[in-house]
Amino acid sequence: MDNQTLIYALYLMSGLLGLTLITIWILIYRTKKQTDMIQKSEAYRDASNELEERAYCFKHKHEHAIGICAVCEVGLCEDCQKDYETLHFCPQHFNTYTESEWLDITEVKTTPDNPEKGLFIYDMKNKLYKENNIPCFVMTHYKIDVHGDQIESHIKLYVRLNDVEKVRAS
C-alpha cells in the first residue's frame, strides 16, 4: 500500500469515528430529552391530580369544592367548609384555629412589579405542614400606596404560638 491509500484509509476511519461519535451523542441527547419529557409529564400529572383533588370535597368526593382549607389545602364543599373572617378551614383545622393562639413569624411586602417575592412564604408554609406537621396559614392584606399609585400585598405566615420554637429550629 502506498502512502496515499493509507491517508485515504485514515480519512475514512476518522470520518467513521466522527460519524459514530455524532450518532452516540444524538442517541444520548434524545434519551435525555425523552427522560426529561417523562419527568415533566409525571410532574404535570401529579400537579393535575393535586388540583383535581382540590376541585372536589375531601370528604364528599362527589361534591365540588367551594374553597380549600387554609392549613391543609384540601377541597371543601359547602357542608364541610368552616369560615372565620376571610379564612376557610376544614372541620379539624377550624378547631385548631379557634383553640390556639397564633403569631405571624414572617412578612413580606409585594407589589405588582415583584409578586414573586412572596412565594417563599407559601413554600415555607407547605414545608412546615407537609414535612413537620406544623399547622400554619398564610394571610394577605392589601394596601394602596397613594404615593406610588400601586397596590401592596402584605403576606404573613402564621403559626401557633406553642410551635414558634419548633419552626425556628427547623
Per-residue pLDDT, 41? 64
Phi, psi of 61 (to 5 degrees): -60, -20
Contact at 8 Å (CB) between 138 and 70?
yes
Per DSSP, the chain holds a count of helices (H) and strands (E) of 4, 7
Give the residue extent of every domain in the chain: 1-51, 56-90, 100-169
Contact at 8 Å (CB) between 68 and 138?
no
Whether the CA torsion 48, 54, 60, 63 is positive or negative: it is: negative
pTM of the model: 0.67
Q: Tell me the pLDDT of the chain (170 aa) as tens digits.
A: 677 777 877 778 888 888 888 888 888 877 787 777 767 666 655 555 555 556 889 899 889 999 999 999 999 999 999 999 899 999 999 999 999 999 999 999 998 888 899 999 999 999 999 999 999 999 999 998 888 788 999 999 999 999 999 888 87
Residue entry with cell 357542608: 79
